[in-house]
Amino acid sequence: MPTKMSHSSFPEEVLEHVFYFLDSDKDRNNVSLVCKSWYEVERWCRKSIFVGNCYALNPSRMIERFPDVRSVELKGKPHFADFNLVPDGWGGCVFPWIISMSRAYPMLEEIRLKRMVVSDECLELIAKCFRNFKVLVLTSCEGFSTDGLAAVAAHCRSFSSHFYYSRRRIHITDPLR
Protein backbone atom coordinates (compact mmCIF):
# COMPACT_ATOMS: atom_id res chain seq x y z
CA MET A 1 0.00 0.00 0.00
CA PRO A 2 1.49 3.39 -0.93
CA THR A 3 2.40 5.84 1.78
CA LYS A 4 -0.18 8.56 2.24
CA MET A 5 -1.00 10.98 4.98
CA SER A 6 -4.37 10.40 6.56
CA HIS A 7 -6.78 13.12 7.60
CA SER A 8 -5.60 12.62 11.17
CA SER A 9 -2.09 13.77 10.14
CA PHE A 10 -0.61 10.35 10.96
CA PRO A 11 1.12 8.44 8.17
CA GLU A 12 -0.82 5.32 7.21
CA GLU A 13 2.08 3.13 8.35
CA VAL A 14 1.64 4.46 11.90
CA LEU A 15 -2.09 3.76 11.81
CA GLU A 16 -1.47 0.27 10.45
CA HIS A 17 0.90 -0.42 13.31
CA VAL A 18 -1.66 0.81 15.86
CA PHE A 19 -4.47 -1.22 14.24
CA TYR A 20 -2.45 -4.43 14.51
CA PHE A 21 -2.64 -4.06 18.30
CA LEU A 22 -6.45 -3.99 18.28
CA ASP A 23 -7.46 -7.56 19.05
CA SER A 24 -11.21 -7.13 19.25
CA ASP A 25 -13.22 -7.15 16.02
CA LYS A 26 -15.62 -4.73 17.70
CA ASP A 27 -12.78 -2.27 18.38
CA ARG A 28 -11.48 -2.63 14.82
CA ASN A 29 -14.96 -2.01 13.42
CA ASN A 30 -15.38 1.08 15.59
CA VAL A 31 -11.99 2.48 14.58
CA SER A 32 -12.86 2.02 10.90
CA LEU A 33 -15.85 4.36 11.38
CA VAL A 34 -13.74 7.36 12.43
CA CYS A 35 -13.02 8.57 8.90
CA LYS A 36 -12.47 7.30 5.37
CA SER A 37 -8.71 7.03 5.68
CA TRP A 38 -8.98 4.97 8.88
CA TYR A 39 -11.56 2.76 7.15
CA GLU A 40 -9.13 2.22 4.29
CA VAL A 41 -6.19 1.41 6.57
CA GLU A 42 -8.28 -1.02 8.61
CA ARG A 43 -9.48 -2.62 5.39
CA TRP A 44 -5.93 -3.51 4.36
CA CYS A 45 -4.61 -4.65 7.72
CA ARG A 46 -7.51 -6.94 8.71
CA LYS A 47 -6.19 -10.50 8.53
CA SER A 48 -8.97 -12.42 10.25
CA ILE A 49 -12.70 -12.42 9.43
CA PHE A 50 -15.65 -13.88 11.34
CA VAL A 51 -18.99 -14.28 9.55
CA GLY A 52 -21.64 -15.43 12.05
CA ASN A 53 -24.25 -16.13 9.38
CA CYS A 54 -23.12 -17.14 5.91
CA TYR A 55 -26.41 -15.82 4.49
CA ALA A 56 -25.99 -12.34 5.96
CA LEU A 57 -23.09 -11.48 3.68
CA ASN A 58 -22.16 -12.16 0.09
CA PRO A 59 -18.62 -13.59 -0.30
CA SER A 60 -17.81 -10.98 -2.95
CA ARG A 61 -18.67 -8.18 -0.51
CA MET A 62 -16.35 -9.64 2.12
CA ILE A 63 -13.55 -9.89 -0.44
CA GLU A 64 -14.12 -6.35 -1.66
CA ARG A 65 -14.06 -5.01 1.90
CA PHE A 66 -11.08 -7.08 3.13
CA PRO A 67 -8.66 -7.93 0.31
CA ASP A 68 -5.76 -9.39 2.35
CA VAL A 69 -7.30 -11.94 4.73
CA ARG A 70 -5.39 -14.95 6.10
CA SER A 71 -8.07 -16.54 8.33
CA VAL A 72 -11.83 -16.96 7.82
CA GLU A 73 -14.43 -18.31 10.22
CA LEU A 74 -17.89 -19.04 8.80
CA LYS A 75 -21.05 -20.27 10.46
CA GLY A 76 -23.84 -21.79 8.44
CA LYS A 77 -26.98 -23.38 9.77
CA PRO A 78 -28.58 -22.06 12.96
CA HIS A 79 -27.74 -23.60 16.35
CA PHE A 80 -30.92 -25.67 16.47
CA ALA A 81 -29.61 -27.65 13.48
CA ASP A 82 -27.44 -29.50 16.02
CA PHE A 83 -30.65 -30.99 17.42
CA ASN A 84 -32.00 -32.19 14.04
CA LEU A 85 -34.57 -29.37 13.92
CA VAL A 86 -33.55 -28.29 10.41
CA PRO A 87 -34.71 -30.32 7.38
CA ASP A 88 -32.08 -32.40 5.58
CA GLY A 89 -30.51 -30.57 2.68
CA TRP A 90 -31.40 -27.13 4.02
CA GLY A 91 -28.64 -24.60 3.37
CA GLY A 92 -25.22 -24.05 4.83
CA CYS A 93 -23.31 -24.89 1.65
CA VAL A 94 -19.75 -23.57 1.84
CA PHE A 95 -18.79 -24.28 -1.79
CA PRO A 96 -19.63 -20.79 -3.19
CA TRP A 97 -17.56 -19.25 -0.39
CA ILE A 98 -14.56 -21.48 -1.10
CA ILE A 99 -14.70 -20.72 -4.83
CA SER A 100 -14.73 -16.96 -4.15
CA MET A 101 -11.99 -17.16 -1.53
CA SER A 102 -9.79 -19.37 -3.73
CA ARG A 103 -9.69 -16.63 -6.35
CA ALA A 104 -9.19 -13.73 -3.95
CA TYR A 105 -7.14 -15.15 -1.06
CA PRO A 106 -4.43 -17.48 -2.44
CA MET A 107 -2.45 -16.95 0.78
CA LEU A 108 -5.31 -18.02 3.08
CA GLU A 109 -3.91 -20.06 5.98
CA GLU A 110 -6.91 -20.99 8.08
CA ILE A 111 -10.58 -21.87 7.59
CA ARG A 112 -12.95 -22.56 10.47
CA LEU A 113 -16.42 -23.77 9.56
CA LYS A 114 -19.38 -24.51 11.79
CA ARG A 115 -22.62 -26.25 10.80
CA MET A 116 -21.81 -26.07 7.09
CA VAL A 117 -22.18 -28.58 4.25
CA VAL A 118 -18.63 -29.33 3.09
CA SER A 119 -18.19 -31.69 0.13
CA ASP A 120 -15.06 -33.65 -0.73
CA GLU A 121 -14.84 -31.49 -3.87
CA CYS A 122 -14.76 -28.44 -1.62
CA LEU A 123 -11.95 -29.91 0.49
CA GLU A 124 -9.98 -30.73 -2.67
CA LEU A 125 -10.40 -27.14 -3.82
CA ILE A 126 -9.05 -25.95 -0.46
CA ALA A 127 -6.11 -28.33 -0.81
CA LYS A 128 -5.18 -27.15 -4.31
CA CYS A 129 -5.88 -23.41 -4.17
CA PHE A 130 -4.36 -22.17 -0.91
CA ARG A 131 -0.56 -22.40 -1.12
CA ASN A 132 0.14 -21.68 2.53
CA PHE A 133 -2.83 -23.47 4.11
CA LYS A 134 -2.24 -24.57 7.72
CA VAL A 135 -5.44 -25.07 9.71
CA LEU A 136 -8.85 -26.53 8.93
CA VAL A 137 -11.52 -26.73 11.63
CA LEU A 138 -14.86 -28.34 10.82
CA THR A 139 -17.34 -28.21 13.69
CA SER A 140 -20.70 -29.98 13.27
CA CYS A 141 -20.14 -30.01 9.51
CA GLU A 142 -21.45 -32.66 7.15
CA GLY A 143 -21.15 -33.88 3.58
CA PHE A 144 -17.47 -34.89 3.48
CA SER A 145 -15.56 -38.12 3.85
CA THR A 146 -12.05 -39.12 4.79
CA ASP A 147 -11.17 -38.82 1.08
CA GLY A 148 -11.67 -35.05 1.25
CA LEU A 149 -9.63 -34.79 4.44
CA ALA A 150 -6.89 -36.93 2.89
CA ALA A 151 -6.70 -34.52 -0.07
CA VAL A 152 -6.11 -31.62 2.32
CA ALA A 153 -3.45 -33.53 4.26
CA ALA A 154 -1.71 -34.65 1.05
CA HIS A 155 -1.62 -31.33 -0.83
CA CYS A 156 -1.02 -28.76 1.91
CA ARG A 157 2.71 -28.65 2.68
CA SER A 158 2.32 -26.20 5.56
CA PHE A 159 -0.63 -28.06 7.07
CA SER A 160 -0.19 -28.41 10.83
CA SER A 161 -3.36 -30.13 11.99
CA HIS A 162 -7.03 -30.55 11.43
CA PHE A 163 -9.88 -31.16 13.76
CA TYR A 164 -13.42 -32.00 13.01
CA TYR A 165 -16.32 -32.74 15.23
CA SER A 166 -19.40 -34.66 14.35
CA ARG A 167 -22.33 -35.29 16.63
CA ARG A 168 -21.17 -38.83 17.18
CA ARG A 169 -17.36 -38.61 17.45
CA ILE A 170 -14.45 -36.28 17.80
CA HIS A 171 -11.51 -36.85 15.45
CA ILE A 172 -8.15 -35.20 15.90
CA THR A 173 -5.35 -35.84 13.45
CA ASP A 174 -1.84 -34.48 13.62
CA PRO A 175 0.05 -35.41 10.43
CA LEU A 176 3.39 -34.55 12.06
CA ARG A 177 3.28 -37.61 14.33
Query: Residue-wise pLDDT tens for the chain (177 aa)?
Result: 545 444 556 787 888 788 878 888 788 888 888 888 888 888 888 899 999 999 999 999 999 999 999 999 999 887 776 667 676 767 789 999 999 999 999 999 999 999 999 999 999 999 999 988 988 999 888 899 889 888 888 888 777 765 555 554 444 455 544
Report the alpha-carbon distance of residue 13 to residue 30 in Å, rounded. 19
Q: Which residues of 113-150 are buried (b: 16+ CB within 10 A; e: fewer)?
A: bbbbbbbbebbbbbbebbeebbbbbbbbbbbbeeebbe
Q: How many Cα atoms are found within 13 Å in the side-chain-facing hemisphere of 22?
A: 20
Q: Sign of torsion, CA 80 83 88 92? A: positive
What pLDDT, on a 0 to 100 scale, did the predictor assign at position 165?
A: 58
**Cβ atoms of 22 and 45 closer than 8 Å:** no
What pLDDT, on a 0 to 100 scale, did the predictor assign at position 49?
A: 92
- The closest alpha carbon to 108, from 151, 49, 59, belongs to 49
What pLDDT, on a 0 to 100 scale, did the predictor assign at position 172?
A: 45
For the sheet containing 135-139, what is the strand order? 48-51, 71-75, 110-114, 135-139, 161-165, 170-173
Domains in the chain, start-ordered, CATH in brackets? 1-46 (1.20.1280.50), 47-173 (no CATH)
**Cβ atoms of 130 and 109 closer than 8 Å:** yes
- The closest alpha carbon to 44, from 12, 22, 9, 11, belongs to 12
